[in-house]
Structure 1
Amino acid sequence: MKILTVVGARPQFVKACMLSRKLRSQSIIKEVIVHTGQHYNHNMSDAFFSQLALPKPDHNLGIGSDKQGKQTARMLSKIEEVLLSERPDIVLVYGDTNSTLAGSLAASKHHIPVAHVEAGLRSFNKKMPEEINRVLTDHMSTLLFCPTQTAVENLEKEGIRNEVYMTGDIMYDAILHYKSIALHQSNICARLNIKPKNYYLVTVHRAENTDDPHRLRTLLKVLTQLNENIVFPLHPRTKQRIKHWNLLDLLSSKNIKVIEPINYFDMLTVESHAKAILTDSGGVQKEAYMLRTPCITLRDETEWIETVQAGWNHVTGVSDSQTILDVVRKTIVPKAYPNLFGNGDTSETIYKILCKKTGKH
């Protein structure tokens, strides 16, 4: 069985490393990895392959950043060329990026089954490119691997009931495997001169926030008004938009440590030790929960509603800075910690389903 895995962004490298390790341990499977190059910054791409022992991509398409349509179209064209040369039995995609959509669409056009890891997530906000990507990918997929029961129910409401599996979340596999390694190897707290539970971690990258000057200004004002130590790994898109909207002055406060994007081990470490995390990232919301760190979601909604219901995640909206500040200052560590994402055996579960469905068992 030949499986062609399409990845392109930081969260996908983390998810793929666990399943790839399982796939490559079996002689009956040949995995071909395609890296679209959607994330190309060293600390958001190459460093992840190295730290996670993810095999070097068999095909690196080098797409880079661009407008949504143009980037997706270039991916689609190049992935199609790879499909025609590799002739895989299944195309495996992760999450909700443009790489996910392009891989799914290219495979579907050539009648190659698509397996979607992290299927069924919904924010119900069609203005998010990620929402469009995940909905379309689910409707093109043959095998749908859902991280939560809510995801299964979302698919059922859309009429998708066949070959839907509640597998747990593969990112939890990675957290369980790498957390202790990261905390042992990373020295980022010493480098930044920060102490555990004495700072907030902030990440902002979604277009709905970075491409709207009012929303971006509101989020940056929160950092200046919070008057607490803040660690802010600055995403390339966010950095560019801050300059474009002339908002650099809002990052001049001494309490804000603006740093370059960081590798996976450093990220796990600062997430684990933070007093709380402020983010607009779906993946970081989930990592916060898995690491038992309270989260404040800087969006109007979340696809991880279970974390909100459990009391570990608080969705603030981005209407005004005071509303966000009030939530941040009231945030505490909940006593209850429900098991939301499985038992850390998702890669094993998905592997067995893939083998069964292709007759390779």
Structure 2
Amino acid sequence: MDNIFITPEHELLREQVARFIAREVEPFAAKWEEDGCVPRDVLRRMGEAGFFGLMYESEFGGSEADALTNLVFAEALSQSTFGGFIITVLVHTDMASPHLFHAGNAAQKARYMPDVIAGKTITAVGITEPGAGSDVAGMRMTAKRDGDHWVLNGTKMFITNGVHANLYFVAAKTGTARHDVSMFIVEKGTPGFTVGRALHKTGWLSSDTAELIFDNVRIPAENLLGEEGKGFYSVMKNFQTERIALAAMAVGHCTRALQMTLDYVRQRQAFGATLWDKQTIRQRIAMLDAKTRAARQFMYHCAWSVTQKRDIVQEVSMLKALTGELVNEVLQTCQQFHGGMGFIRETAIERLWRDARVLGIGGGATEVMLEEVAKRY
């Protein structure tokens, strides 16, 4: 499964992540599924291990690594069978905190980045609304300037880390033009800012997901993140990092599920032989493995292209659509080959099957991604 982009340093990072998952996650994460969240002390230990600042500035505790290193981390993390844990981390590292990294000024970074990297402050990003998912420009939440403050009003929906985050990067309309969107920093506990409700999902059970309500939330003017009216373009830029991370999650799930299924069919007896002895089963696994390996190479090519400063919106949109559909094909087949055990709630393959479904929806539904591809021909 190696490729030309992997270095010895990448392999070391992969091993470190694998050891952390084996020691700190897999033995305990079933309880987290019941609790609906990942314990904050586990996330702090990830920060202490250096996992939360791979691409960020060394002056704040980061490693200043590149997009390929970040992808290695995301893929290694996705070898866990607990998708809720994975997405809790990836939202913090690849979907929320990059807004601060890319658009934050010196004072904002100095104030927040050290604790973000250390895992003491967990972040969330508020973009999606009840009536505007992938249509970022269609959001209705507003932010109006009032002297030395901004006043935020509106609702956000499906916000991962929404219940237990400490710091939120929130998008709101600041003018009448369709793309007149700005980003703001909102701290937990700000008056008027509340969690409307925790949402109960089919999968990602250890990930806290929430509706957020902003009722005349007053924040200091210096909490504007980046330029006023330029937030739409900031969101679009960060979508590329987010979608590569979600692709890594999908590929990681495919790889783990295929290995688990290969192990299972080699020992499962049926009609006087193992399932592996059935031609249709081993050929189906071989084809899905081929598709997964091809998708993985494409994913690494996209991350490498980021390091070359290329415009790869079309390629990343292809990648997100491809891997979001592939992971559902792989997991449905792997679950089928596990027979009745694949439908038992406590089994890893059933959990992966549930968790995989959202990867064709979240971060840009497959149909939206394909439109992004098509309009660039």
What TM-score do the two structures reach when normalised by structure 2?
A: 0.29
Q: With CA pairs under 8 Å and 6+ residues apart, which has the higher RCO, 1 or 2?
A: 2
Q: Quick check: which has more Rg, 1 or 2?
A: 2
What TM-score do the two structures reach when normalised by structure 1?
A: 0.30
